[in-house]
Structure 1
């Protein structure tokens, strides 16, 4: 029985070590950006214009030479500000080259807003669009910008930015971007006026261009490596993630055409996505641009525009946090960008319960404490039976020690006598291990919830805990956790094998060390769980021992 219990303890310890190892890898300093990606946004400017395949039957005209002359770094910009974001739009292509999320702060400096789209200050990340067809503007075309900054005023629901492209071959194009109050969605449209003397049938492309660098510089130890890269969704193929390395090697697999779906670029806590309307045939693409730069996007057809007529193509851009209660309502499957790994089946409902408790308490820390209590109640019968077995084992300690003295040299005889004793006393040899086995998947699932939920990012609990997704700055909770684990070990029956006993006593020290850098929300869960377990185990042990003492007296 003691050997089996030791094995289960080691399985749990191995799970912790694996998480800790991944934690270390995630928080190693990011490799220095290459010269191409460390500059402004010139790599993005060099991106070639995508061309649709024969599936969409589009002309594949090249880009006019003068349109590629200007670099993004030197192009003029206009700023657009709403209650949630501040965007900088470049004259070159009308690209969104910088986007600040005002409700979310940077990890290193909480006085500054989080930067999603970046023009090269830390990495390169832009939202680009253009038209495909002779004489039509691309993301390299210089647009005319309005003068001054556009800011959402009190009483207004939206602010509109209109950019005019140079007229070519009698075709006039305006790019119109609508930023809305209380929303991370941006409506992007092209108004096309055709006076070329012939009908045109253009296509529009909407792409996200990014380097492969992490969005934030981790502090100390952070968390398991989360996914960074493109993701595609269609009703037929469902959610498909593509690694940057797969794009570079030409091994990326995803749905290429569909009448529905979207394309996104996913990073820790945040996402940007092009969300075309349902029912329009589209083509998805992903390609490497060299120098650690990648693009992923979608191509949409534009209905034929006759001479002396107008046409329009439009879609939506989401650029913001992965707020799970809102993503599903924005587009089908968009909530899948919140990736909990292989334990999603446990983590997703666990987050739902946490979110519901957060609405009641207004604090994620208290929500974690309450969900720990609920989990303890759910598994109360199982843990009670386990603690009864452990308490009986504790009572039988002197008899087991006597067996060891009598049959210490005969392992087979010793094992037979122990099994007979367990059978007589109705003790489950694995009973003491069941609470640990139950906690392992819940523990890992909660870890992924804390790691992947933007709602937990920089969420305070009380006092010194100002970010439940980060480590305890003063290591108070890990130390309390270690002490509580030591108390639990003292309540357990002492293994007859001295080596096993030493291993068990070393567990609290090893776990405390590893928990020093785990998210404080996860350590809080473990502390509360240990305290509840100690109370339950102490009460059951006291009842068993007092009952045994009464039986002997009688």
Structure 2
């Protein structure tokens, strides 16, 4: 029995299963193997309960979010609601609208660049349309206080960040409810995807009050565009020092299987999608309760409730927080908040992927082009693994040389498998061929190749980044399918250089594999295909050279 080909068939079978599993997840079906959510032990605390009624009703009425209590006695009556309007603003990295209903970020379009030499992001994060809802909102609970359903009044001031300004502030005032008035101020900073959100709460009533401030992100489960045959996480996430990074799938929320930290005095809560994320980052050291829930048949939310100290009549308190809304640029995220860089999710291969991305960044800093950085990183990885690859190709060359003799033994002992195996083992021993020699070096390299796959798939730096000629965006598929065709040709050549299986069916399957895998690569991002093309070309060159050298050595010996 040819052990090596058995292993190759096993690898092919597993690859086919994994391909089908990726197709399942790409079409919104659950994975057969890998859960998307990261669960940890639930800590103490009480999450919020669902908002009564539908989300549309909640936005149209003055009902407070969950955990609301009766109004405090002795407070001033609520003022009549005014008509809501949109306040448009623009900065060097944002273009958006603030809804005066709740002072909520209604729309936020990212207009900056992930790569200074690439195209603008032009990515819409927050949005509220008939087909899509994605909002960041705040409000008060603990009484009939101002919340995200009340209509605020814009404070006059500039709404565009001028070239000579470093920051832009936009403020809105709430009506008086329950004796409280809220002034919400957004501070946008040039070149930054972090928005300062200051909430000033004034007690204009006659009785002390003790409200809580909630900050939440609301989103539907509408998927975002991702490359075919690949899967990226979409859903709520949070981070605490105790439980670290935790993800929650929408399906787990549907099934009431959410098991995450529910209280902390640190960390952040957010919403993650391919290349981009949003996150509320409350003040560190301020205790808060964390909640994740479904509030409508199509809407989900993750948020924090931060209890505030008692506010006496005529006094006020300020609560500062930060709202991140931008691309998942790993180095930028590291400087914003602990653990925020984990929204760029490499999954189980993080320990290998992070150093690879660091190295890719260093190469890019020298060459100034992400495409050439991918090429050079691939060359560097092949150089590091050269001894292992050389051992593998030498073993394959020996196997190819003795293939006719192996076939003869199979024909001779085809009626006696036991004698056939013994004869094959004797042949391996005589020719000093290890059946596993060609497989083990490849298996050792697989984690690195998978890690680099996730680095290239997850890095927003590839979005809009050009390479050469026809490749204008490494995150999109090759528009003319040139790289996938080269990939197919390189895989075919590699197959021809390998030992031909003695079984005709196996031989046909080995020839069919490049076609099957190439079909998948036709839909992969150009950056990923570029990596595999370069890797295959280097492998073919190395394998051809080693085979020629070994053939020349045998002729000299003869």
Instruction: Give the shorter-chain TM-score range.
Output: 0.7 to 0.9
- Kindly indicate whether residue 290 of structure 2 is the aligned counterpart of residue 284 of structure 1: yes
Q: Structure 2: which 5+ residue stretches go unaligned?
A: 30-54
Alpha-carbon offset, residue 122 of structure 1: 4.6
How many pairs were matched up?
527
Alpha carbons 2:71, 2:178 under 8 Å: kept: no
The residue correspondences of 1:79-98 to structure 2 (distance < 5 A) are 79-98=88-107
Alpha-carbon offset, residue 274 of structure 1: 0.7
Alpha-carbon offset, residue 401 of structure 1: 3.9
CA distance in 2, matches of 1:246, 1:288: 10
2:320 matched residue in structure 1: 314
2:56 matched residue in structure 1: 42
- Kindly indicate whether residue 110 of structure 2 is the aligned counterpart of residue 101 of structure 1: yes
- Kindly indicate whether residue 215 of structure 2 is the aligned counterpart of residue 206 of structure 1: yes
CA distance in 2, matches of 1:3, 1:473: 41
Alpha-carbon offset, residue 154 of structure 1: 1.7
The residue correspondences of 1:354-393 to structure 2 (distance < 5 A) are 354-393=360-399
1:174 matched residue in structure 2: 183
The residue correspondences of 1:411-450 to structure 2 (distance < 5 A) are 411-450=417-456
Alpha carbons 1:27, 1:222 under 8 Å: kept: no
- Kindly indicate whether residue 524 of structure 2 is the aligned counterpart of residue 510 of structure 1: no
Alpha carbons 1:260, 1:280 under 8 Å: kept: yes
Alpha-carbon spacing, 1:78–1:408, altered in 2? closer, same or farther (3 Å)? same
- Secondary structure in structure 1 of the residue aligned to 2:210: coil
1:466 matched residue in structure 2: 472
Q: Deviations along 1:191-242, whole A, 9 cap, x unmatched?
A: 22323223222211111111111234x6xx6242322221121111211112
2:14 matched residue in structure 1: 14
Alpha carbons 2:234, 2:271 under 8 Å: kept: yes
CA distance in 1, matches of 2:470, 2:6: 36
Alpha carbons 1:469, 1:521 under 8 Å: kept: yes
Residue among 219, 225, 228 paired with 2:231? 225
Alpha-carbon spacing, 1:86–1:67, altered in 2? closer, same or farther (3 Å)? farther
CA distance in 1, matches of 2:384, 2:289: 48
Alpha-carbon offset, residue 133 of structure 1: 4.0
- Kindly indicate whether residue 26 of structure 2 is the aligned counterpart of residue 26 of structure 1: yes
Alpha-carbon offset, residue 325 of structure 1: 0.8
- Secondary structure in structure 2 of the residue aligned to 1:311: strand
Alpha-carbon offset, residue 147 of structure 1: 5.2
- Secondary structure in structure 2 of the residue aligned to 1:252: coil
Alpha carbons 1:470, 1:518 under 8 Å: kept: yes
Alpha-carbon spacing, 1:121–1:446, altered in 2? closer, same or farther (3 Å)? farther
Alpha carbons 2:271, 2:277 under 8 Å: kept: yes
1:451 matched residue in structure 2: 457
Alpha-carbon offset, residue 44 of structure 1: 6.4
Residue among 487, 506, 524 paired with 1:481? 487
- Secondary structure in structure 1 of the residue aligned to 2:286: coil
CA distance in 2, matches of 1:354, 1:502: 38
CA distance in 2, matches of 1:111, 1:208: 25
Alpha-carbon spacing, 1:60–1:338, altered in 2? closer, same or farther (3 Å)? farther
- Kindly indicate whether residue 308 of structure 2 is the aligned counterpart of residue 302 of structure 1: yes
Alpha carbons 2:78, 2:175 under 8 Å: kept: no
- Secondary structure in structure 2 of the residue aligned to 1:150: coil
- Kindly indicate whether residue 199 of structure 2 is the aligned counterpart of residue 190 of structure 1: yes
2:125 matched residue in structure 1: 116
Query: What is the root-mean-square deviation in Å for CA atoms of aligned residues?
Result: 2.9
Q: Once structures 1 and 2 are overlaid, which stretch shifts more, 95-104 or 435-444?
A: 435-444
- Secondary structure in structure 2 of the residue aligned to 1:393: helix
- Secondary structure in structure 2 of the residue aligned to 1:151: coil
- Secondary structure in structure 1 of the residue aligned to 2:530: helix
Q: Deviations along 1:66-98, whole A, 9 cap, x unmatched?
A: 78967xxx7211112111001211111100010
CA distance in 2, matches of 1:104, 1:157: 18
TM-score with structure 2 setting the length? 0.87
CA distance in 2, matches of 1:134, 1:477: 62
- Secondary structure in structure 1 of the residue aligned to 2:439: helix
Alpha carbons 2:490, 2:533 under 8 Å: kept: yes
Q: Deviations along 1:155-195, whole A, 9 cap, x unmatched?
A: 21111111122234654331111111111111112222323
Residue among 350, 354, 358 paired with 2:356? 350
1:37 matched residue in structure 2: none
Alpha-carbon offset, residue 390 of structure 1: 1.5
Alpha-carbon offset, residue 449 of structure 1: 2.1
CA distance in 2, matches of 1:8, 1:424: 24
Alpha-carbon spacing, 1:360–1:474, altered in 2? closer, same or farther (3 Å)? same
- Secondary structure in structure 2 of the residue aligned to 1:103: coil
Alpha carbons 2:453, 2:528 under 8 Å: kept: yes
Alpha carbons 1:77, 1:145 under 8 Å: kept: no
CA distance in 2, matches of 1:200, 1:19: 58
CA distance in 1, matches of 2:248, 2:80: 29
Alpha carbons 1:485, 1:508 under 8 Å: kept: yes
2:273 matched residue in structure 1: 267
Alpha carbons 1:27, 1:223 under 8 Å: kept: no
CA distance in 2, matches of 1:237, 1:25: 27
Alpha carbons 1:201, 1:304 under 8 Å: kept: yes
Alpha carbons 1:450, 1:468 under 8 Å: kept: no
